[in-house]
Structure 1
């Protein structure tokens, strides 16, 4: 699913978190003209964001990365400690990709948007995340892995044990998910229908207790699955 066609007939409650009032006002103006989006509240820092999520239970949070006091990454981590929380967090940044990307995604963010994103892409991005799609392009995924794959890391042995629950086909699916591929692209690699690929993805996420596809990228990195990644057929 592309950003521009990820629509939804469901009303999507959005919380805007940014320390600059003008930025919040700008995003609010964009969102409030959309019939299926409504802004449930605003917050100027991470502490306020955590409190507002608990009180308002928004579907999606637009979260600034850099804020005084509690920043967006720390706030996201606190929000996601609640296992029952259904809120999805989209990080807002002025950078295409930087040192915050991996930590933000690991904290539980579902993707990134630039602050100067075009209005139609902002709206479509919110709809996509609400629908369960990752807001992280394959290009960004590859760059993230390239940036962090050589860093020292402690492999989560408990997480690696869960890999044993996957069938060989599901493990292949995880490897492809780790590259940020869409269901259609996974289907092409595995020579199956897109519906079958979607089923494989759902089973991988369920067996590994992962919230979404972005978390599958983090899991694959931390368990070393990315080093097993197969090359795509030409």
Structure 2
């Protein structure tokens, strides 16, 4: 997640006071981040069409027909590789899983009881890990026991190109985009790397894989070529 350049961040939130508070907290965690704010679907899409963002924080529940989830779907349909974290006051598991299935790589509740919890969520995201609500990574997680070494990818039997594929999957990218970034055929991602990763984490779906990575607190190493990729 880290690079030599400051992070470019898109913040979509239709309530001005809430947006200002979120911006302030983001700047506490990432003082050098370049943050662009918007309050609607149309504004977010316009910003994304004119600028590449490393991370987008998208409020799901906008007071318009189009939601933050629609912005996420737009980004993925246009092959944008922006890492997307959803913001919501709702914590229902089906809502979180729908967002993950659409390509989100994080979900933060806006009604957390204090700023400290929200800051810890942001820290998790900026460290390159995945933050999900407790009701998703707790009792409903997909592995019966915790990882023997939380935060470590050792022992998974993954290295090299498999870890690259895992990194991109955790960013919510579709197979086509992952294949292009890795310089291989899309079929290789679908038939080789994805099944191998599912076996390693003992899951059956992408959504389950993302949840399991979040539950273990894993930070997947950034592929070397990402550090040199222009924004």
TM-score, scaled to structure 2: 0.59
Structure 1 residues 187 and 92, CA, compared in 2 at 3 Å: closer, same or farther?
same
1:142, distance to aligned residue in structure 2 (A): 5.3
Partner residue of 1:197 out of 155, 159, 170: 155
1:47, distance to aligned residue in structure 2 (A): 2.6
Larger Rg: 1
1:179, distance to aligned residue in structure 2 (A): 4.1
Question: Is the 1:65–1:73 Cα contact (8 Å) retained in structure 2?
Answer: yes
Alpha-carbon distance in structure 2 between the residues aligned to 1:41 and 1:71: 18
Correspondences of 1:108-127 after superposition (within 5 Å): 108-117=103-112, 118-127=114-123
Question: Which has the larger helix fraction?
Answer: 1
Greater RCO, 1 or 2 (C-alpha within 8 Å, sep 6+): 2
Structure 2, unaligned stretches of length 5 or more? 174-196, 213-231
Alpha-carbon distance in structure 2 between the residues aligned to 1:207 and 1:30: 31
Alpha-carbon distance in structure 1 between the residues aligned to 2:144 and 2:100: 13
Alpha-carbon distance in structure 1 between the residues aligned to 2:126 and 2:102: 18
**Residue 53, structure 1, aligned to residue 48, structure 2:** yes
1:74, distance to aligned residue in structure 2 (A): 1.5
Structure 1, unaligned stretches of length 5 or more? 1-5, 146-177, 230-234
Q: Which residue of 2 aligns with 1:63?
A: 58
1:187, distance to aligned residue in structure 2 (A): 4.7
Larger mean Cα displacement after TM superposition, 69-78 or 53-62 = 53-62
Question: Is the 1:31–1:39 Cα contact (8 Å) retained in structure 2?
Answer: no
Deviations, residues 4-63 of structure 1 (Å, cap 9, x unaligned): xx9988632222111212211121222334453534211112232222223232222111
Q: Which residue of 1 aligns with 2:20?
A: 25
Q: Which residue of 1 aligns with 2:99?
A: 104
Q: Which residue of 2 aligns with 1:141?
A: 137
